Amino acid sequence: MPATLLDRLWEAHRVAPAGAGRDVIHIDRILLHDLSGARALAEVAEKGYGVANPALVFATPDHAVSTAPGRTAETFRPGAPGVALLREGARRHGIRLFDLGEDGQGIVHVMAPELGIALPGLSIICGDSHTCTQGGLGALAFGVGSTELAHALATQTLRLAKPRAMRVRLDGRFPKGTTAKDAVLAAIGRFGAGAGAGCAIEWAGEAVRALPVEARLTLCNLSVEMGARIGFIAPDETVFEWLAGRDFAPRGAAWDAAVAAWRSLRSDDDACFDIDLAMEASGIAPQVTWGTSPEHVIAVDQPIPSPDSAPDAGRREAWAAALAYQGLQPGRPLEGLPIDWVFIGSCTNARLSDLREAAAIVAGRTVAPHVSAWVVPGSERVKRAAEAEGLDRVFRSAGFSWREPGCSLCVAANGEAVPPGARCLSTSNRNFVGRQGRGARTHLASPATAAASAIAGRIVDIRKPF
Amino acid sequence: MQRFDRVTGPAAPLLRPNIDTDVIIRAERLVGTPKEEMGRYAFEAWRYRSDGTEDPGFVLNRPPFRSAPILLAGPNFGCGSSREAAVWALAGIGVRCVIAPSVSDIFAGNALQNGLLPVVLPEETVRGLAALIEADPDRARITVDLEAQTVIGPDGAVHPFAIDPDRREALLAGLDDIGLTLRQAGAIAAWQAEDRRRRPWVWLEALT
């Protein structure tokens, strides 16, 4: 019987039935951060359970920590107790912790792949919905709440219902100027923010196969914005080459055995998907969101849609509310819209390749005087590598603020926020009401679009000179 | 975990699609707010005006719906962040059940860990229930019966819904998942011993 990659990943972790409808699924890696991770450790302690296998658990503070240069856990005081709980829990249980300022610290979904904590075929959870990012390596990776996180800490398993299998094929090749970020935003715009509900998405097709690893992580990162808790790409030589030699990746004979096993992690050619979708990659232009859901997205040169053209009553109401919140009129393109802030960062787009792409555009230019522009590297390692290449100098001399690794303006849980009413072009993943700060207006885009727009002071179509 | 068997009461209609967990509870409230106090901040961007006073136009500020135990929502309810505080915030304002055409998987998982029941019904059914509520907001009531797996509308119409039997049992009994799983500790240990041979690269050394 032909199998999907989801079937193979599920079967490889199925310990036992958990009663009708669910399975006990083994969890190979548990990632803890200073909000949900600290809470889950506290919950395990309160309930009197232990941590089943601390060697498979990793911790790093990223959410409620300042990203100001020279920061400590105390710089953002309200976040300090969470970091303290994480440190104390890690010490007590023997959990590996990558602390502020140390090699390895970073946004969990940036540091876990870069350290080889995430590997193909592993089941990986974190109390963070963007854990699906790590599916870019071919892992079964997904976000959970803090109670389920505590369950996994105590038992090394979760009780889960198997999701349905969805495939999204991106056929053909991307045009010049189109990145993985544009592609996934376009897919969400086409299929909807709830399209993947109840599903695990396998991203496939020629355009996906051609993506380097970091772009695959970006693509899978936004699976959850299409409604799917899980997103992944079948691992291949590109992934194996990228992972070889990383800190927690196997070595020697163990590496060879692992790669041999990972080569079977793919869907059979004749596998059946519950939902099978496709898009032509060559038709995808640079995308920018206009509203307050990632599905409110258009090509940068297209007109903002009118609520009158919404497909149903619910969306008509949502579109009208989004336009009012964003202070926009339908009928005009986003291109040329003045902006106040630019944020280059987050688990979506703060890897070295993202920073290189942005720096190449910024080099020798200056940020528009009315724009506040930030670069927040995704991890300590990304930061150090970027500094070794001089990217920090490129950004700084253009007028960007060059900061310490963390989630920062993507989630605004650390005292850093876009002011009310200000318009921010952001490389992050969510344009929800108030996400980047109370009353803040977010437009999601690629690092290239963000960098060019910071210089111009308005939203730019990077296919044209600016 | 709080048991769930049967709930009857007003149902607040909040039908726009893609209501995300950021709007249910702001990220900054995750820092330092005890679980029990999250209700105060539920839907704060919609519930309160910028001067901090209540917005009388928001459905949860209208008298029949102030402490409605049921929320009627649009598709993809609870999308976005995995923050479990979204469930605690809803529980904090008295919500025991969300009825929607679809509910985000992570939100549903979190809800079920806290005795809050997500019920998925077809969009036209949810809209029909909302219309009946709006026609007589002060008196219309909805009943959600988990034992029978039905929603009973203000007009007496019965709408069956599906739920994993394992989940249903746990909710009816108020059972904690960890306790259930630890009963299978032997099976887990045996599976792990076998997996160490099958996938040795998964198994890292403990910190010394």
What is the DSSP code string of B52-121? Answer: S-B-TTSGGGSGGGTT-SEEEE-TTBTBS---THHHHHHHHTT--EEEES-B-HHHHHHHHTTT-EEEE-
pLDDT at B166 (0 to 100) = 85
Structure tokens of A116?
Answer: 């080889």
Query: CB of B14 within 8 Å of any CB in chain A?
Result: no
pLDDT of residue A21: 83
Give the distance from CA B29 to its chain's centroid: 19
B104 at A interface, C-beta within 8 A: yes
Query: Is B178–A49 a contact, with Cβ atoms under 8 angstroms apart?
Result: yes
Report the percent of chain A where pLDDT is more than 70: 100
Q: Predicted ipTM? A: 0.94
Query: Which residue, chain included where needed, has tokens 């506290």?
Result: A42
Give A20→chain B minimum CA distance, Å.
6
Which residue(s) pair with A58 in the sheet?
A31, A96
Q: Which tens digit of pLDDT belongs to each residue from A73-89?
A: 999 999 999 999 999 99
Residues A254, B102: C-beta atoms closer than 8 Å: no
Instruction: Check: CB of residue A266 under 8 Å from CB of residue A443.
Output: no
The 10s digit of each residue's pLDDT in B115-156 is: 999 999 999 999 999 999 999 999 999 999 999 999 999 999
Q: In this complex, which of A82, A157, A295 lies closest to B31 when CB atoms are compared?
A: A82
Give the mutation candidate from B77, B176, B178, B184 for the A interface (greatest A CB count, under 10 A). Answer: B178
Residue A18 has pLDDT above 80, yes or no: yes
Q: What pLDDT score does A466 carry?
A: 87
Instruction: Please give the Cα distance from A138 to A238 (Å, whole number).
Output: 11
A160-205 pLDDT, tens digit each: 999 999 999 999 999 999 999 999 999 999 999 999 999 999 999 9
The verdict on A64 touching B (C-beta cutoff 8 Å) is yes
The alpha carbon of residue A304 and the mean position of all alpha carbons in its chain are separated, in whole angstroms, by 26
Q: Does B202 touch chain A (CB under 8 A)?
A: yes
Nearest-angstrom CA–CA distance, A269 and A49: 45
Contacts of A247 (CB under 8 A, 6+ apart): A104, A115, A116, A117
Does this model's pTM top 0.90? yes
Asked whether the beta carbons of A144 and B106 are under 8 A apart, the reply is: yes
Rounded-to-integer distance, Cα B8 and Cα A145, Å? 28
* CB contact residues (below 8 A), chain A span 114-143, against chain B: 119, 121-122, 127-129, 142-143
Substitution target in B88, B181, B194 with the highest count of A β-carbons within 10 Å is B181
Q: Which of A291, A290, A287 is nearest to A301 (CA)?
A: A287
User: What are B109-122's pLDDT values in tens digits?
Assistant: 999 999 999 999 99
Residues of A in contact with B207 (CB under 8 A): 54-55, 94-96
Q: How far apart are CA B175 and CA A368, in angstroms?
A: 58
- Are the C-beta atoms of B76 and B18 separated by less than 8 Å? yes
For residues A290-322, b (16+ Cβ closer than 10 Å) or e, as one string?
bbbbbbbbbbbeeebbeeeeeeeebbbbbbbbb
Is residue A395's pLDDT more than 80? Answer: yes
Q: Residue B2: its pLDDT value, please?
A: 87
A248 touches B: beta carbon within 8 Å = yes
Q: Is the pLDDT of residue B179 over 90?
A: no
B15 and A317 within 8 Å at the Cβ level: the answer is yes
Of the residues B14, B15, B18, B197, the best mutation for testing chain A's interface (the one with the most A CB atoms within 10 Å of its CB) is B18
| Smallest Cα distance from A424 to chain B, Å | 17
Q: Specify the pLDDT at position B176.
A: 81
- Indicate yes or no: CB of B110 within 8 angstroms of CB of A129: no
Q: What is the rounded average pLDDT of the residues A276-303?
A: 98
Task: Give A146's Cβ-side CA count (13 Å radius).
Answer: 20
Write the DSSP symbol of residue B123.
H
Q: How far apart are CA A35 and CA A126, in angstroms?
A: 11
Compute the mean pLDDT over every residue in chain B, rounded to the nearest whole number: 96
Inter-chain touch A432–B15, beta carbons under 8 Å: no
Question: Does the structure show a pLDDT above 90 at A20?
Answer: no
Each residue of A234-282: pLDDT tens digit? 999 999 999 999 999 999 999 999 999 999 999 999 999 999 999 999 9
Eight-state DSSP code of residue A73 = T
* Any B CB within 8 A of A221 CB: no
Angle between helices A180-191 and A213-221 (to 10 degrees): 30
A12–chain B nearest CA distance, Å: 9
Q: How far apart are CA A95 and CA A89, in angstroms?
A: 8
Asked if B165 and A147 come within 8 Å (Cβ–Cβ), the reply is no
Cβ contact, residue pair B106, A197, below 8 Å: no
Closest residue in B to A94 (Cα–Cα): B207
The contacts of residue A354 (CB under 8 Å, 6+ apart) are A214, A218, A344, A378, A427, A447
Q: Residue B81 and residue A129: Cβ atoms within 8 Å? A: yes
Q: How far, in Å, CA of A174 to CA of A119, rounded?
A: 27
- Cβ contacts (< 8 Å) between A193 and chain B: which residues? 17-18, 76, 79
Residue in A160, A159, A151 with CA at minimum distance from that of residue A52? A151
Phi and psi at residue A297, in whole multiples of 5°? -135, 145
For chain A, give me the number of helices (H) and strands (E)? 15, 19
Report the chain B residue with the minimal C-alpha distance to residue A414: B28
Query: What distance in Å separates residue A93's CA from the closest CA in chain B?
Result: 10
Phi, psi of A305 (to 5 degrees): -75, 155
Per-residue pLDDT tens digits for B35-83: 999 999 999 999 999 899 999 999 999 999 999 999 999 999 999 999 9
The Cα–Cα gap between A140 and A244 comes to: 19
Do residues B43 and B58 make contact, with C-beta atoms less than 8 angstroms apart? yes
Taking CA–CA distances from A122, the nearest residue in chain B reads B202
